[in-house]
Amino acid sequence: MSETQTESPPTALTPALAFGTKTGRTLLFIALLAAVAQLLPGPAGDRLRWVPEQLSELVPRFLRFEHDALPWESNRGDDALAAEVPVDDGALMALAGAPEPAPPAASPGSSPPAAAPAPGSRAPIALRGVFEESTPLPPAPEARDLGNGLSLMPIEDPHHVLDGFYASLARTAAGQGQTRVVHYGDSLITGDYITQTLRRLLQKKFGDAGHGFVLGGLTSPWYRRNNLDIKTSEDWRINRITRPQLGDGFYGLGAVAVRAEAPGEWVEYAPRDQNGKPDTPEAAALEPLNQKIGRVEVFAWGGPRAASFEVRVDGAVVGTVNARQPAEQAVFGRFDLDDAPHKVRVTTVGGGEARLFGVALERRVPGVVYDSIGVDGTRVKVLRFLNPEHWYAQLRQRDPALVVLHYGTNEGEAADLGTKNYREDLLPVVRGLRAGLPDVPCLLVGPMDRADTNDKGELVSRPVVQRISDVQRRVAYMAGCAFFDTFKAMGGEGSMARWYKNHLGGGDMTHPTRQGADRIGAMIFAALMDGYRKSRP
């Protein structure tokens, strides 16, 4: 006689019963600890935080929706966008003055041209006057209409700090070295918006010296560089200055580090012509920008247990960046190439943790190099998470003639942001940068206008934007930087509403469209060239 076994129907386990058991209480305690870890402030909390900054990282990679569109790009049709008047490069070049003498081209294998003064050899910038929190500032300049929606908003430079930058441009125009700019910012800069316009215009006038510094891979869904294809293997871990943070503060030049332990992880860079179709016979006769690479410099972190990197160019090994060092320190590997289109791949060797900051791709000819370093979601106060001496040393390695700080978008999320609190966030960062690089000019670029809908259904400017601009202007006077007022350049009060109607402002009423970003870059270029023209004898 067989014995039949029956299974009792499952009984629902209520929360009270579950948490009444020892196991249930333990699980509840662990869950509470994990939740509290998400709320802890500062680097300590970030080391315990397990929720990634990009929630899409919780989704398996093969299920993710990969896209290139930036979040604020207009969803209007191409016909509507095509109606917008494009920026006239020719008119801007005319504003900048007569064309500069063509710098001599370097032949393959030749020595680089005479360079600008080496880091630390320039005289420290002396401030012209003392400005405190209560010191009255002079009246702000007014924008001048240039036509086609462009305005010339002069840069305020009370201490004449940009004189050194203009002198570097003049030397570059005469064929005596390169002029490098390092432009930091938030989501406005992440996708090379605004900066690609500045790079294009400055290189058209003073010469194309290459792509500049590029991060170690696709570090954000929206990170890209104009005229450059970036590909990467999939098993890198990404640490941004925002989240997830590194406890040691060693993020490199770009405030982003990519890490891997396995050998064979790689990042690849290859030039691509994204300059657009030339609109004149003269433009068609010119060589497209950023198509050649004559020098590769790898920025990485080294130490007793660090893994090194192999560098390949067009498939052939050109050298190794030795990251295995007696003590923790930044390491750099520079490789000179013939001036030609190249495909560059940086690969981990293994044997430890590899930490890559990025790669500088340049040419060994006179011209402008414009580094675009944007981390979406950044507020200027998070720059304090950078180890300061490490950050300044990385900047000195780049030897910039100008450092740009372009923040304020994310600060504008806090409608009640106080003037005093924001000044206390911004001033120490700018003063620290000035002390760390006393001979390098700095430029603060103010935030764009942003709009909200009032109770009448009208788009009106968010008042906090004006407060942020006012604080940045005063900090520039106090700390010794120049200042460009983007809010006033756009048209001041109500400008985002007008930009949105003219297809220059995005649907979030905060960011520009592609055309709007091009316009802001052109306005900053016009302001720089106005100062450059006035500085010349």
Domain ranges of the chain: 59-209+365-537, 210-273+290-364
Q: What is the CATH number of domain 59-209+365-537?
A: 3.40.50.1110
309 beta partners: 321, 348
Cα 246 from chain centre? 19
**What is the rounded CA–CA span in Å between residue 125 and residue 145?**
32
Q: Do domains 59-209+365-537 and 210-273+290-364 have the same CATH topology?
A: no
**What is the rounded CA–CA span in Å between residue 63 and residue 21?**
38
Fold of 210-273+290-364: Jelly Rolls (2.60.120)
Helix (H, G, I), strand (E, B), or coil: what is residue 13?
Answer: coil
Token pair of 4 as six digits? 């039949």
Q: Would you write out the chain's pLDDT as a tens digit for each of its 537 residues?
A: 444 343 444 444 444 445 567 777 777 777 777 666 655 544 344 445 455 444 444 444 344 334 445 545 544 443 343 345 578 887 788 777 755 645 545 544 444 444 445 444 588 999 998 999 999 999 999 999 988 778 899 999 999 999 999 999 999 999 999 999 999 999 999 999 999 999 999 999 999 999 999 999 999 998 999 999 999 999 999 999 998 889 999 999 999 999 999 999 999 999 998 776 666 665 556 678 999 999 999 999 999 999 999 999 999 999 999 999 999 999 999 999 999 999 999 999 999 999 999 999 999 999 999 999 999 999 999 999 999 999 999 999 999 999 999 999 999 999 899 999 999 999 999 999 999 999 999 999 999 999 999 999 999 999 999 999 999 999 999 999 999 999 999 999 999 999 999 999 999 999 999 999 999 999 999 999 999 999 988
pTM: 0.84
311 beta partners: 319, 346
DSSP codes of every residue in 210-225? EEEEEESS--STT--B
What is the model's pLDDT at position 108? 45
Name 127's Cβ contacts closer than 8 Å, sequence gap at least 6: 159, 480
What is the model's pLDDT at position 103? 53
| Sign (positive or negative) of CA dihedral 394, 396, 397, 400 | positive
What is the model's pLDDT at position 332? 98
What is the model's pLDDT at position 63? 40
What is the model's pLDDT at position 285? 61
End-to-end Cα separation, the chain, in angstroms: 113
What region, left, alpha or beta, does residue 177 occupy, with left being phi > 0 and alpha being psi -120 to 50 degrees? left
Q: Is 24 exposed, middle or buried (0-12, 13-18, 19+ CB in 10 A)?
A: middle
pLDDT in tens, 240-267: 999 888 999 999 999 999 999 999 999 9
What is the model's pLDDT at position 79? 36
- Single-letter amino acid code for the residue at 522: A
Q: Is 75 exposed, middle or buried (0-12, 13-18, 19+ CB in 10 A)?
A: exposed
